[in-house]
Structure 1
Amino acid sequence: MAMTKAILEKWMVAQKRHRLSDKQVQMARELGLNPDKLGKIDNHKQEAWKAPLPQFIESIYFKRFKRENPETVKPLKQIMAEMEVKKKQQKAKKEERRKQRALSSGSEE
């Protein structure tokens, strides 16, 4: 599943707004939750029966995956940095291919 920069930025905003840890954000992402809709799930201390959002995420994660924690937890900033590095590498490879094509087509003429 490809993560875009915009989606990761939405997760960063949701993480700050709802005071979630990197582990809880990773769990929510694996569960396929929408970062824009977390406010509806969150307990605003008005519903006494409702669990706080971090505990709710952990409980449904355990129900679905039968484990307490994700196998690997990566902070969102690290994921964004890795995406930038990968993007730069892809651009460099593309430029190299263009140069090779230009050289090979120029030598044939």
Structure 2
Amino acid sequence: MANNLKKDAEWAEAKKRCRLNEETIKMAKEMGLNPRSLIKNIPSKREQWKAPVSVWIQEMYQERQAKALKKKARKEKAAE
């Protein structure tokens, strides 16, 4: 029980510090990301090349969804 409260607090902190919305949090949880890893990936001033955490999560989610669709299509084709 106390562990769930700690996890919820970590997600709340990640949501605030990374400026995430509920949809992006849901994507991160679905992919099994850790709230601490999201906080660690906040770009610093010297890391201009790094995308904001919300963009990073959305891009990774889309890539994984596309990969899963390709895998599913391959399985269906092989089953024919």
Considering the TM-score relative to the shorter chain, is it more than 0.5?
Answer: yes
Distance in 2 between the 1:31 and 1:42 partners?
18
> What are the ranges of 5 or more consecutive residues in structure 1 without an aligned counterpart?
67-109
State the SS of the aligned residue for 2:8.
Answer: helix
Q: CA–CA distance in 1 between the matches of 2:39 and 2:9?
A: 16
If you compute each CA radius of gyration, which structure gives the higher value, 1 or 2? 1
Q: Counterpart of 1:50?
A: 50
Across the aligned residues of Structure 1 and Structure 2, the Cα RMSD in angstroms comes to 1.7
Task: Please state whether the residue corresponding to 1:6 is helix, strand or coil.
Answer: helix
Partner of 1:27: 27
Which residue of 1 is the match for residue 73 of structure 2?
Answer: none
Identity of aligned residues (%): 38
Q: How far apart are the structure 2 equivalents of 1:32 and 1:12?
A: 16
- Normalising to structure 2: TM-score of the pair? 0.69
> What is the aligned partner in structure 2 of residue 38 from structure 1?
38
What is the CA-CA distance between 1:39 and the residue it aligns to? 2.4
Partners of 1:50 and 1:12 lie apart in 2 by 23
Equivalences, count: 64
Structure 2: which 5+ runs fail to align?
67-80
Q: How far is 1:49 from its partner?
A: 1.7
